[in-house]
Amino acid sequence: MGDGDSSKLLSALKPFCEKLRSVVESGSEISVITHLDADGITSGSIIGTALARMGAKCSVRTVSDMTPSVIEQMKAEDHEFYVVTDLGGGMAANFRKALGDRWVVIDHHQIPEEEILTDDAGQVLNAWKYGIDGGIEVPAGGMAYMVASTLDRKNRDLSPVAVVSAVGDRQDQGDKKSFLGLNKAILETAKTLGLVNVDLDIMLTGRETRPLHEALAFTSFPYIDGLTWNRDNCHALLKGAGIKLKDGNGRWRVPAEFSQEEKSAILDAIAKFVVTSSKTSATVIDDLVGYVYTLAGEDKRSQLRDAREFSTLLNACGRIGRSGVGIAICMGDRNAMLTAGEEISTEYRTTLRNYISTIFSEKWRVSDDGKMALINGDGLVAEDMLGAVSSLLSGSPTLAGRLVFVRSLSKDGTYKFSSRKGLGCTSPANLGLVMRHCAESVKGTGGGHSAAAGCRIPSTTLDPFLSCLRSAVNDAKFATAS
């Protein structure tokens, strides 16, 4: 990313922050409305914290997506001012109609060309307007952080929360899971302030909280046939390699506690296992090593110390309807966290595992032509869990190389879809463009990023929508420019 791009954003931030400052100074009561995933919870919390520190009267709440009916509800509630984060791309006209000029949007989702070109009185602060790729260079949490730190340099202490949003939004897309663009700049600030440490390490799920063999078993990216989801095999493998799994007090050691030498021995043991397993490619060892981001201010063995674990917890909070806990944690509460966090993670994981095993055991739910896999989650998958299910399925070896689409019928009689590119998928299709085009063709709404997107459509339009999908994924018009 050239400096020119970030300077465009910096010049837009000044008037944007002036607007917010005058809203706060006028004593207006502000409602922050955000998405319920990790990026939504972090971005809403960063703005909520920055406003609260200025003495604003404000509340933060989450919604599962921004629809005309949510906008109607906002109009009816009639707060004096609205800050929408991680949502609302392409909906400026709807906001203006319902709320006049009493709103701003802080977002990173790709928006239609006309919204980039429209002079919206500076009410839409979106990465794409400034030549910044919101898919890999900055999530909503990073955009919210830019606003917060422009409002007051003291808010740079919120940089670790922005780091959590970047890994939560899978933007660790550089070499060895490093950061790119604006994410990298925000990370540098967090490092300089001594708030985040960065190390190359074995990337296991639960680095700070799980016994080593469990952490290995729960790691599904990369998927290792015979180890992933198989605790006993992991235990036997590590024990056989002479790895000391417990400390002197008989307590299980977590991955973060092993020395560099021990980590080399662990990787060797896994590498030897992989060589003998025909289903797993030898490159998984490369995939297992990457940058890890440790929040220095959090307690050891806490779910909040590793940025990826922190983001998983926030996702779990949002997906099972406990966003408030996630927001409280991001805004500094550590009591609610300690009691509720563990239960929430456990409930979330159990629910996910049940979904995945049902999908694979009820064969009629999966229609797969080798390029596209359509998963029917009707009557099974709660709509707020769709993104988590499509992410997990996209890492499953059975669906490798596919474009994965998961759907569920909502309570309001609409279909909600979530799509991802499976492991090793080479399709040039930009899922964000495909989802927006096909949803709009049947009077629905949709969008997202090239490798991850979603939409909502009227339930009566399923067939035309699916036929649009089948042709759009092969249409060069909706391909990512290489």
pLDDT tens for 272-294 read: 888 887 666 667 778 889 999 99
Same domain, 80 and 152: yes
Rounded to an integer, the average pLDDT of 319-343 is 87
Q: Please report whether residue 195 resides in a domain.
A: no
pLDDT tens for 110-162 read: 888 888 887 678 899 999 999 999 999 999 999 999 999 999 999 999 999 99
Contact assessment for residue 246 and residue 254, using Cβ atoms and an 8 Å cutoff: no
pLDDT tens for 56-81 read: 999 999 998 888 889 999 999 979 99
Could you give the CA distance from residue 143 to residue 130 in angstroms, rounded to a whole number?
A: 12
Counts of helices then strands in the chain (DSSP H, E):
18, 13
Q: Please report whether residue 96 resides in a domain.
A: yes
pLDDT at 430: 93
Work out the pLDDT band at 4, boundaries 50, 70, 90. very low
Length of the chain, please? 482
The CA distances from residue 469 to 407, 412, 465, in Å, are: 13, 23, 6
pLDDT at 43 over 90: yes
pLDDT at 412: 84
CA dihedral over 161, 221, 356, 434, signed as positive or negative = positive
Least confident of 249-253, 280-284, 395-399: 280-284
Same domain, 283 and 380: no
- Domain end, chosen from 304, 325, 355, is at 355
Q: Please report whether residue 150 resides in a domain.
A: yes
CATH number of the domain encompassing residue 99: 3.90.1640.30
Least confident of 216-225, 227-236, 287-296, 416-425: 216-225
The CA distances from residue 223 to 283, 395, 419, in Å, are: 11, 7, 19
Same domain, 110 and 9: yes
Could you give the CA distance from residue 181 to residue 203 in angstroms, rounded to a whole number?
A: 22
Work out the pLDDT band at 471, boundaries 50, 70, 90. very high
pLDDT at 2 over 50: no
Count: domains in the chain: 3
pLDDT tens for 158-190 read: 999 999 999 998 899 899 999 999 999 999 999
Same domain, 366 and 333: no
Same domain, 378 and 348: no
Q: Please report whether residue 379 resides in a domain.
A: yes
Could you give the CA distance from residue 95 to residue 117 in angstroms, rounded to a whole number?
A: 17
pLDDT at 1 over 50: no
Same domain, 23 and 151: yes
Tokens, residue 40:
């939504």
Same domain, 451 and 335: no
pLDDT at 86: 96
Q: Please report whether residue 177 resides in a domain.
A: no
Same domain, 428 and 474: yes
Same domain, 214 and 293: yes
Q: Please report whether residue 180 resides in a domain.
A: no
CATH number of the domain encompassing residue 453: 3.10.310.40
**Domain range enclosing 12:** 3-171
Whole-number percent of the chain with pLDDT over 90: 71
pTM of the model as a whole:
0.85
Q: Please report whether residue 125 resides in a domain.
A: yes
pLDDT at 233: 93
Q: Please report whether residue 269 resides in a domain.
A: yes
- Alpha-carbon dihedral angle through residues 189, 40, 19, 154, given to the nearest 10 degrees: -30
Rounded to an integer, the average pLDDT of 430-444 is 94
DSSP one-letter code for 331:
T
Same domain, 209 and 115: no
Strand partners, 196: 295
Same domain, 344 and 377: no
Could you give the CA distance from residue 314 to residue 329 in angstroms, rounded to a whole number?
A: 9
- Domain end, chosen from 355, 390, 413, is at 355
Of residues 228, 193, 194, the one with CA closest to residue 214: 228
Same domain, 301 and 270: yes
pLDDT at 5: 60
pLDDT at 279: 63
- Domain end, chosen from 330, 355, 380, is at 355
pLDDT at 3: 42
| Average pLDDT of the chain to the nearest whole number | 91
The CA distances from residue 25 to 43, 44, 77, 105, 400, in Å, are: 22, 20, 22, 19, 54
